[in-house]
Chains A and B, each alone.
Chain A
Amino acid sequence: MSEFLQHLVNMLVLGGTYALLGIGLTLIFGIMNVVNFTHGVLYTFGAYIMFIVVQQLGLNFFLALPVAVLAGWLLGAAIELTLLRPLRGSDIDTTMLVMIGAWIAMQSGALWIWGGVAKSVTTPFPEAPLVLGPVSVSWLRLFVLAAAALLILVTYLLINRTSLGRAMRATFQDHDTAALMGVNVDMIYTSTFAIGSSLAAAAGALLGPVYVIFPQMGDLAAVKAFAIVILGGLGNITGAVIGGFILALAEELGAGYVSSGYRDAMGFLIIIAVLIFKPTGLFARAERVG
């Protein structure tokens, strides 16, 4: 039983960052209909920003997170403006391949700049974990959970309580009508991509210090983000949050009770099962056609 509780605690920590990854991708996927393969690179990028700020510049650990968010936002906006805006109106396969090209180029760039050796970040948190009865959790992981929860809340408020968010939701429902109503769709697309990218960078900056940082760390993160998006339904933010936690739970239980080697497989098996039995995702709203 205590082992199960421990898995639940781990699930909460992992699920928070997975949710961040998923929200970013589901916004881009849902609103722009772009299969964003650079999402994993942005995750990697966020982790390296953490490394640069803390290890190379010697600045405060807590300062690194907002820097990573901002850097992710800028890089996302740059990608959207240079690569996606000229291709507006192309089919989904074309933009997807352009994103794949950008992913390969940027990941190789990371390898070129920082090398293949894994990096780690020293954190200001004590080594000794917080012990609560049968479960223990490190202070770093608690911080990761709290920061992820905060970012999820901010994103939720941004989408549901601001005029930018309303314009984004309108564009998601029908971009032509939104444009007729005076929404600057080009600006919405750039903002969406920038916000999604900044969330991916935040997830990387948060999980980077928990694990290690290396150029290919984003690949699996990207595939998992896609899984979360499918699990939650396209463009569905609440679905992405729940999907993130479900994936984390599946991985924790799979690693704990089956074999740690199959940790990553569990998530995929669940996804295959979901798609067989409930193909539109667990929390699907009506999907936009066309």
Chain B
Amino acid sequence: MRIALTILAFLALASVPLWLRDPYLLNALITTGIFVIGAMSLNLLLGFTGQLSLGHIAFFGIGAYVSALTSLGFDVGLPGDLRLVHAPWPPIAGFVLAILVAGLCGYFVGLLSFRVRGAYFVIVTISFAEVVRLVALNWVELTQGPLALTNIPSIALPLPGFGEMTLRTKMHNYYLVLVVALIAYLLIARLVHSHFGRAMRGLMENETLAVSVGIDVTRTLTIAAVISAAIAGAAGSLYAHYIRIIDPEVFAFINTVTMVIMVISGGKGSLAGPVVGGLIFGLLPVALRPVMAPEAQWIAYGSVLIAILFVLPRGIVPSLAQRFSRRRSNAPALAPVALTETGAKEPA
């Protein structure tokens, strides 16, 4: 049932460029798709280990810059009269490197920040993202600072026997994003249903108990952070090669917030949650554009977020799934009482 629904949703999304010809809408779908990949990676941390990272955009931005710089080449001076010169490589190499470097950064941030939890973890991740943003802004020789890296080449797929296929059109990029999103989705699904996934959720629900049955907390959290950062890096790389211009604003806090909104409104800890939440909040500005001034759109965006939290506090997907399953099982007149996460009693 769930698998059938997933395949159906994928086919529906795959059919979009065949009937949707409006380049503006297609563009909105592509950037939304890229942010959905980022939101899925954030969900791995937030929804399955319970760690709220408010610096997630750092990995996305690092992926974007690594990928852009790999394919553009650079020539920077290092301390001690050394020069680091890099000739341009194909963008696909940038994509791979973006994943590796972002994953590596995830490893170090994971090691540092999992020493602290809760509000402290939040502030470490925010600080990390701000520091990275300021480096991108100030290391002008490498990143061009606010002048931005421009003319980033589009990704070219090597096709054995046919040479290369450069993904220039919106339709190409749409399918590229869709395929990467599908891979990320399947990877995360595989992960959370594995032994490792059970360890993660065990940690989230009761850390003391998890430790007592032999779960290595730091190792589990660090692996989750690395995978999460690597996927975010992949999304950043796609973004760089699609938009083809990257400036330090990519690290803006609002971008992390956008991903968090996508995850929580869709339903954290639900695989489909970030996709549903992402499509709603990614496309909401598009839907509001014809009827509202840009500032008013954002007022509506904030208000819709508040409304969703008041009406469906656990997120759209879990709330709907619960409602759906209740209807199917012909809920008895006296609903049993279940303990929710907050410990408050609520009719199941």
Interface range for A? 35 or more
Max chain B CB contacts within 10 Å: which of A104, A112, A272, A275? A104
Q: Is B287 an interface residue (CB 8 A)?
A: no
Contact check, B123 vs A226: say whether CB atoms are below 8 A apart. yes
Contact check, B257 vs A93: say whether CB atoms are below 8 A apart. no
Contact check, A101 vs B119: say whether CB atoms are below 8 A apart. no
Nearest Cβ on chain B to A78's Cβ, whole angstroms: 14
**Chain B 125-141 near chain A by CB (<8 Å), digits 1 or 0:** 01110110011011000
Contact check, B299 vs A109: say whether CB atoms are below 8 A apart. yes
Q: Is B264 an interface residue (CB 8 A)?
A: yes
**Chain A 252-275 near chain B by CB (<8 Å), digits 1 or 0:** 000000010110110011011001
Q: Given the known inter-chain contacts A268-B130, A272-B127, A279-B116, please indicate yes or no for A94 contacting B313, CB distance below 8 A.
A: yes
Of the candidates B301, B305, B342, which one forms a contact with A89 in the assembled complex, judged by CB atoms under 8 Å apart?
Answer: B342
**Chain A 12-44 near chain B by CB (<8 Å), digits 1 or 0:** 000000000000000001000001000000000
Chain A residues with CB under 8 A of B295: 108-109, 111-112
Main secondary structure of the interface of B (DSSP, over half): helix
Contact check, A97 vs B127: say whether CB atoms are below 8 A apart. no
Residue of A nearest to B135 (CB): A265
Contact check, B306 vs A223: say whether CB atoms are below 8 A apart. no
Q: Given the known inter-chain contacts A97-B264, A100-B257, A265-B130, please indicate yes or no for A230 contacting B120, CB distance below 8 A.
A: yes
Contact check, B303 vs A105: say whether CB atoms are below 8 A apart. yes
Interface range for B? 35 or more
Chain B residues with CB under 8 A of A265: 130-131, 134-135
Of the candidates A219, A262, A272, A280, which one forms a contact with B253 in the assembled complex, judged by CB atoms under 8 Å apart?
Answer: A219
Contact check, A103 vs B302: say whether CB atoms are below 8 A apart. yes
Contact check, B342 vs A223: say whether CB atoms are below 8 A apart. no
**Chain A 205-233 near chain B by CB (<8 Å), digits 1 or 0:** 00000000000000100010011001000
Of the candidates B127, B128, B138, B309, which one forms a contact with A262 in the assembled complex, judged by CB atoms under 8 Å apart?
Answer: B138
Q: Is A91 an interface residue (CB 8 A)?
A: yes
Q: Is B112 an interface residue (CB 8 A)?
A: yes
Residues of A within 8 A of B (CB): 29, 35, 83, 86-87, 89-91, 93-94, 97-98, 100-109, 111-112, 219, 223, 226-227, 230, 234, 259, 261-262, 264-265, 268-269, 271-272, 275-276, 279-280
* 17 pairs, A vs B, C-beta closer than 8 Å: A87-B309, A100-B260, A100-B305, A101-B306, A104-B254, A105-B298, A108-B298, A108-B301, A219-B253, A265-B131, A265-B135, A269-B127, A271-B123, A275-B112, A275-B113, A275-B116, A276-B112
